[in-house]
Amino acid sequence: MSRLILGAMVRAVGAYPSGWRFPGAHRHPLGDAALLKRTAALAEAARLDYLFFGDWLATGKDLEYRDPYLVARIDPLSAITFLAGVTERIGLIATANTTYADPYTLARATASVDILSGGRAGLNLVTGAEPRAAGNHGLDFHAANESRYDRAVEFEIALRRLWDSFDDDAIVADAETGVFLDEAKLHTTDFHGAHVSVTGPLNVARPPQGHLPIVHAGTSPRSRLFAAQSADLALVAVGGLDHALAVREELRSLAFESGRDDRELKVIAPVLPIIGDTLAEAQGIADRLAELLPVAEDWAGGPPRGFPEARSIRTLSQLVELELDGLGPDREISPRLAADFGAAGQALIELVAARTGRRPGGPNPPRIRHLVVQQAVPASMIVGTATDIADEFEAWADAGAVDGFNVLSAVQPAQFEAFALGVVPELQRRGVFPRAYETDTLRGHLGLARPANVHAHGAAEAGRAPASTPEPAHLSESDVK
C-alpha cells in the first residue's frame, strides 16, 4: 500500500468541547504561543506531513458551550508564519474564507509564507457564510452565502494566476549587466469574473512550490465538486469504512470527469483518537471527557442562552424513540430501560460501551448523560491503545478508503503527545509512514508534482466556469474550524 499522509489539526484548547477542563490541559489562549511551539516540535520530530489550522471569523457566548476552541484563537496565517520560523521540514496549512478574503492580499500573504518557509505552506479554502462573520466584514449574510461557491471557483483561478505572475527565472539579478528583471517573464494576471476581479501582477516572486497545495472540505454536492476540480487534498468527514470508500470513489470520479489526473486528489479523513496505555485507560479518558461536558438538564432553570439544543435529554428521547424527560441526566441505563430503545438507541449504547467501557447491567453502567454527550459530539472518534489506533489507520488505508488522516487532539498537549510518541512510531514500525522526511516541501510530502506556470504554458485562459449546482442558504458544512 502507499504510505499514509498524516497531519494534525491544531486546536489549542483541545478539540473535544470539554478537553480544556481535563486535568493538566492547556486552557488559556494567551499561552498559545508556547503550546504551538511545543506541538510543532513534537509533530516535526514525529515526521508528520503538516500542521493544519482551521478558522472561524466571529465569536460569541454560545461558542463557550458548543466549541470552546472557537471563542478566541490565533489567526491561521499568523500561526503558520510564526511556526515557519521555529520549524524546518513540516508543512503548515492555514485556512482562508473565500467569501470574505481579498484574492490579491491572500495571494501575496501565502506566497510570502511559502518563500519564508522554504516551500512548506498550504492553503485550506472554505466558503461558508455565517451571520456574525458577514457583519464583521460589512456584508449581507444571505447575499454572500448564496453566491459563495461561484465566488470560490473564481477566487481559486485568480489565486493561481497571481501566484504565477513571475516565471521561476524572471528575476535575473545580473550585477554585471545591471538587469534585475526579465520583463517578458512578468505576466499580466487580469481576471474579471462575476464575483472576483483582480489585475495584478503580484509583487511577490513565484512561490517555491509554484502553487501552494489547496485543501477543501465538505460533504455537500457543490463542495465535493469544488474539491474534485480544484483541491489537492479533499478533507471529508465520513461515518465509517464503507462510507469512506464511496466518498473517495465519488471524488476521484468527479476529478477524472473534470479532466484531472484523479490520482492527484488526496482524500483525507479527520479523526479524533483517544489514546491510553491500555484500552481501559483510553476508555477512562473518554469517560471523563463525557462527565466534564454539561448537558441542558444540569441547569434547574434551563440552560444558558445559546446552549446547544442537541445536548439535551429531549433530543436524546427523539433519537432513542423513548420519552426520557424527567429521568434526569444521572439516571442509570438499566438493561430493562435499554431494551425499550429503538435501533438508533441500541447503536448509541454500543457506541458508548466501545468508547467508555460502560454497559447496561455491567459494574459501571452508563447514565443518560453519557448517551446525550455521545450523540451530541459527532467527532469521528477511535478509543484505544496506540496499537489499536494504528490498526484502524492501517485497515482504512489497506482498503483504499483514504489517503491519510487529519488528527485532532481531544486534550492538549497530552493527547497529541500520546499520538506523536505512541501511534506514529507504531505506524513507522509497520512501514506505512516514513521514519524521516523524504522531501523538503509540503507538495513533496503529499506526493504532488510542482505545477507549471499557467501563463507561460497558455493555460490561464482555460479557467473553469462556476459550477451551477444550487446550494442552500445556510451555514456550509464545508467550513473547517
- Rg of the chain (C-alpha set): 24
Classify residue 171 by burial, with Cβ atoms within 10 Å: 0-12, 13-18, 19+.
middle
Q: Residue 412: CB partners within 8 Å, gap ≥ 6? A: 11, 12, 13, 14, 19, 25, 26, 35, 39
Q: Residue 111: CB partners within 8 Å, gap ≥ 6? A: 162, 163, 202, 204, 205, 206, 207, 212
Cell numbers given for 14: 483541545
Is 356 among the annotated ligand-binding positions?
no
Is 220 among the annotated ligand-binding positions?
yes
Residues marked as binding? 55, 95, 149, 220
Residues marked as binding for FMN? 55, 95, 149, 220
